[in-house]
Chain A
Amino acid sequence: MELLRPSSVEELDGGVPVHGGTEVVPLLREGLLAAETLVDVRGLVPRGTRDGVIGAGTTLAELEVDPSIPSALREACRLAASPQLRNMGSLGGNLLQATRCWYWRLGYPCRLHGGDRCHARDGEHREHAIFANGFCASAHPSDVAAALVALGARLRTNRRELAIEELYRLPDEDDRRTTTLEDGELILEVELPSVQASVYLKAMDRRRWSFPQVGVAAARVGSETRIALAGVAPIPWRIESAEDLDKVTPLPRTEWKVPLAQALVRRALAAVD
């Protein structure tokens, strides 16, 4: 395996981008990601915050103490992972996390791996999705992504600008990917609109170092109140209102997430009101 360290975005030519390594290294170790070439992009991706624009190379540890960013993002960072991981993990990398679905992690030939069934639907799925789970029942693990969706963030890559919601797509028969990021495309910056109030609430099965069972971000942006959830669908999941939680399609062992999501959404809305 080789490690390249290009000095400009123009020099990018294939390979697997790696920033903090907290996502890529475990995937390589488990054989879930194959790479001949790793590309250290720390020299290419901006780091730090100015005027509502956050470099995608900023670490979660830096963001959790940054008073200039909305509290939903700060809280999402603070409640993610462990201090060691947050010291290494970058904002951009966090958005591209793979699911924690154990079937996917253990290499079962599931739909996300290109197979023809979702093992979780018929199997052990107590941590899985309550929305959009017909094709693949995996749950998206990123607290930060849910916060950014609620905040209405926009992303700038080396090729385009897009709303964060356009970064994600539900996997389907023809395309099993959960993001729209192309090969060679790097998330460079995250731009946040001005936000009146925001909050991120997270249910975990222990007090720290746990992916969200359900995470709820809410933000008041102009006249709009935006809500997004983590841990409830294969991608970060936006709902228009609390009533959207009536439209869930839980699996037998994910029904418990519904009252939990309802309680957190109620609290989040009260917090930004």
Chain B
Amino acid sequence: MARLIRTEKEVEGRFEEVWIVVEEDPLEQWPEGPLSVVGRDAPRQDGSLRVRGEARYTADIKLPGMLHAAVLRSPHAHARVQRIDLAPALALPGVRAAIGPGEANGLEEEAGWAGAPVAAVAADTFAQARAAVEAVDVEWEELEVVLDPEDAVRRGLVTGEARRSERGDVDRAFAEADVIVEGTYRTQTVLHNSLETHQAICEWQGDTLHVYISTQYIWGIRQEVAETLGMPEDKVRVVCEFMGGGFGAKNSPDEYTFAAAELARRTGRPVRCALTRHEEHTSAGNRNSTIQRLRAAARSDGTILALEGEFFNSVGWSGWSSPTEGPMRALYACDNVRTVTHAAKLNAPPMKAFRAPGFAEGTFGLECLIEDLAARLEIDPLELRRSNYAESNEGTPYSSKNLEECYRLAEPHWERRHEVRARSDAVWKRGVGMASQIWYGGGGPPSYAWVRLGSDGRATVITAMQDIGTGTRTAMAQIAAEELRVPLEKVDVVLGDSARGPYASISAGSSTTPSMGPAVRAAAADAREQIEDIAEQRGLPKNTPVEEVVGLLEEAQILGKGARGPNPTGMSVLTFGVHVVEVAVDVETGEVRVERVAAIHDVGRIINPLGASSQVEGGVIQGIGHTLSEERLLDPETGRVLTTSLDAYRMPTIADVPEIVCEFVDKPDEHLTNLGSKGLGEPPIVPIAAAIANAIRDATGAEVHELPISREEMLRALEAAKEKERRGAPAAV
């Protein structure tokens, strides 16, 4: 039965109070451990489609008569359009329509960063559209460019008020401490670089707008497009069957969708607007850079007395201020914590959520600081982390927390440090480091699924969710197969189309499995109960196989429906983990090699261990790029992006990937839904940077304070460590 509740909704660490209708979740959780299908390795159901090139991504869709759009972008980091003339573009061959500032959402007169969208053109070919964009005549008034975040905050140039939090008496705790450590940590701007660039195709059929889009949130696109265009939501159909990655940057429609919709309306033809790789680097979002000034106070027995942090988020021209202070507030038991987080408004490309926004950055600073504290206290870093274990989230009980178990699983990996260090030689120094992980990932209502069974004994799960490439189809099929007690190969999953299924969750904030999984199980249970009912009426034994019962149906079908129940009230639903990393550092050339990563995570019940380990590997590899080689650079004079290509912006190659050992606590969260599963998309990127930095420190004594740990930063830190040693203070090896 449905009921109305007031609940706190969380996405990517942003909370809001909302009234929602939720349905009861009366199903009991399955017993712990691997079941018949759930908890066992299942290869991706769509794997062969993808590798054979048969999966149809948005980039593959070619509609009859489709036009191609290109976007005119500001060459200036801050400027206003004084005059714009689209006529020269319209006069070029193949050009069908052109729109300027104010004619589609996102096209604006004031450009707040180099790459801001200003106008758009649709033509028969993409090359014609590009040539036409070049021909648009614009007179710009150039405005002041602000790129320094601390300068911006001083001058009050912010995207919002500073966020402050305080508990206990921080000043007194620092005054009474035996040991105080402090440090300034910086993290860089990095790019999502999804394989498939941001893109949409819009087509009008009567008064209905069909939007084919590479997105993480089909229903969010539907809502935002309908609201912006003043249409009923049911007149907007959104389709995304396969997508080539999002990582947080594809939660909203943005200018490319609105431009395509308007150009399609004007021309009466389908219009595709796809960003180029260059635009992907200038105008599609990023993980913002941060500056973190941190302090910690402790007693000599290792008790953390106080933590304090001032954080600067370089949000860019727009966007939101991610919870960089989150790990400092939540990871350790500490009575006295004070944080302030500034949101600098700069003439730089706007941030977008990027895999654990704020926490990936904040964990680097905090966990390097804790390592520093361990060195000062001469306490084993694992021991220090254990002795400051948080038993509640600032007083709120956890729905489940098995970080202690993660630490126990980490022990054998941590023990390897003696043997790893012993393999050092004069040039290559080896060491082991660790860092803990905390993040959200509980998902929430609403989300719905249907299950249909026919007399052929096959089941189809229907829900208008998206699979952003994480193996969602397979996990949902496993849950349905388990509940229906049918083999996995008898379950199909239909998703990716708002016209072909009920509302489904956003795939962000590690929420897909914990939001959708319980709804799919509930729908399958509804179907199973109907089947048992039929069996009973036919006088068949209760355990009669499903195929046998539905075999009696002829044209009739069993239709089950399910909804995601509420999250537990008065509890914090969080994910936990720890990484133990082994590195080798060439102390003469500053080369850093990550040789082994043990990634241990507590995310409740694991649905598909094979898919889960893929998620962890992906997070670790993306995190290695964040830690060692990736950085988006701006020209300090013009504010333009300099790293616009994949040779200037360096992501890890397969040769950079170390041995990755994945382990899961795999214990259902008894308070969370009928599954007890949390999300795993983001946790594996959270601790990797700090764990690498701490391993470098273990290997060499060098303290790195900046990401990426380029050769420049590594050689600087090695030199500083040598200098420290020369001055007599022993480097912390």
Which residues of B lie under 8 Å from residue A66 when comparing CB positions?
none
Which A residues from 83 to 110 make CB contacts under 8 A with B? 100, 102-103, 105-106
Whether A208 touches B715, Cβ cut-off 8 Å, given contacts A124-B635, A260-B590, is no
Is the beta-carbon distance between B650 and A210 smaller than 8 angstroms?
Answer: yes
Is the beta-carbon distance between A124 and B636 smaller than 8 angstroms?
Answer: yes
A208 CA to B653 CA in the complex, in Å? 7
B266 an interface residue at 8 Å Cβ cutoff? no
Is the beta-carbon distance between A263 and B653 smaller than 8 angstroms?
Answer: no
Is the beta-carbon distance between A205 and B648 smaller than 8 angstroms?
Answer: no
Which residues of B lie under 8 Å from residue A122 when comparing CB positions?
637
Is the beta-carbon distance between B635 and A205 smaller than 8 angstroms?
Answer: no
| Chain B residue with Cβ nearest A267 | B588
Query: Distance (Å) between the CB of A177 and the closest chain B CB?
Result: 23
Which residues of A lie under 8 Å from residue B637 when comparing CB positions?
119, 122-123
A208 CA to B712 CA in the complex, in Å? 18
Which residues of B lie under 8 Å from residue A156 when comparing CB positions?
none
| Chain A residue with Cβ nearest B648 | A102
B628 an interface residue at 8 Å Cβ cutoff? yes
A53 an interface residue at 8 Å Cβ cutoff? no
Which residues of B lie under 8 Å from residue A106 when comparing CB positions?
640, 642, 644
- Taken residue by residue from 634 to 647, chain B's Cβ proximity to chain A (1 for < 8 Å, 0 otherwise) reads as 11110010111101
Is the beta-carbon distance between A206 and B711 smaller than 8 angstroms?
Answer: no
A50 an interface residue at 8 Å Cβ cutoff? no
Is the beta-carbon distance between A124 and B588 smaller than 8 angstroms?
Answer: no
Residues of A in contact (CB 8 Å), total: 27
Is the beta-carbon distance between B642 and A207 smaller than 8 angstroms?
Answer: no
| Chain A residue with Cβ nearest B591 | A203
Which residues of A lie under 8 Å from residue B636 when comparing CB positions?
123-124
Which one, B590, B633, B643, B655, contacts A206 given CB within 8 A? B655
B656 an interface residue at 8 Å Cβ cutoff? yes
Is the beta-carbon distance between A105 and B712 smaller than 8 angstroms?
Answer: no
Which one, A260, A266, A267, contacts B711 given CB within 8 A? A260
Which residues of B lie under 8 Å from residue A264 when comparing CB positions?
589
B652 an interface residue at 8 Å Cβ cutoff? yes
Whether A100 touches B635, Cβ cut-off 8 Å, given contacts A203-B591, A253-B712, is no
- Taken residue by residue from 316 to 328, chain B's Cβ proximity to chain A (1 for < 8 Å, 0 otherwise) reads as 0000000000000
Which one, B642, B650, B656, B712, contacts A124 given CB within 8 A? B642
Which residues of B lie under 8 Å from residue A100 when comparing CB positions?
647-648
Which B residues from 663 to 715 make CB contacts under 8 A with A? 710-712, 715
Which B residues from 602 to 656 make CB contacts under 8 A with A? 628-629, 633-637, 640, 642-645, 647-648, 650, 652-653, 655-656
Is the beta-carbon distance between A126 and B712 smaller than 8 angstroms?
Answer: yes
Whether A206 touches B656, Cβ cut-off 8 Å, given contacts A126-B712, A260-B589, A263-B589, is yes
- Taken residue by residue from 558 to 573, chain B's Cβ proximity to chain A (1 for < 8 Å, 0 otherwise) reads as 0000000000000000
Which residues of A lie under 8 Å from residue B80 when comparing CB positions?
none
B421 an interface residue at 8 Å Cβ cutoff? no
A213 an interface residue at 8 Å Cβ cutoff? yes
Whether A105 touches B635, Cβ cut-off 8 Å, given contacts A124-B642, A206-B656, A253-B712, is no
Among A122, A207, A210, A266, residue most surrounded by chain B Cβ atoms (within 10 Å): A207
Can you name 25 A-B residue pairings with CB atoms under 8 Å? Answer: A100-B647, A102-B643, A102-B644, A106-B644, A124-B633, A124-B634, A124-B635, A124-B636, A126-B712, A203-B711, A205-B710, A206-B628, A206-B629, A206-B650, A207-B593, A207-B653, A207-B656, A211-B647, A253-B712, A256-B590, A259-B719, A260-B589, A260-B711, A260-B715, A266-B588
Query: Chain A: residues with CB nearer than 8 A to chain B?
Result: 100, 102-103, 105-106, 119, 122-124, 126, 203, 205-211, 213, 253, 256, 259-260, 263-264, 266-267
Query: Chain B: residues with CB nearer than 8 A to chain A?
Result: 588-591, 593, 628-629, 633-637, 640, 642-645, 647-648, 650, 652-653, 655-656, 710-712, 715-716, 719
